[in-house]
Amino acid sequence: MYTSGGTDSLNPDTIGYPLTVSAIPGAGGTLLVEYQLVKDGSWTEWPGGAVGVKTIYVLAGPVYALRFTAAVSTGTVEIAQ
């Protein structure tokens, strides 16, 4: 998980944006990317859901945290601003 480090649930710091996220699943596996808008908030899947091939999305608004879940094989995530 990658977070902004903010500690106040009503006014947390956010990860800078726009943010380019590249999800690269391992061979035969999938990689799910989710984001949280506020600290302790619900998790939302990014538009691609669990991906089986390299997928890139730009998150254009502020998020508090990102979470990555690999299935079957270890995946790689690249994050750039």
- The predicted-structure confidence for 2-49, as pLDDT tens digits, reads as follows 665 655 555 557 787 898 999 999 999 999 999 998 888 999 999 999
Please state the domain count of the chain.
Answer: 1
Percentage of the chain exceeding pLDDT 70: 85
Residues 9 and 40: beta-carbon distance below 8 Å: yes
Spatial separation of the C-alpha atoms in residues 13 and 72, rounded to whole Å: 33
Domain that holds residue 18: 2-80
Q: What is the pTM of this model?
A: 0.82
Instruction: For residues 58-71, give the mean pLDDT.
Output: 92
Per-residue model confidence (pLDDT) at position 15: 82
pLDDT confidence of 75, banded at 50, 70, 90?
very high
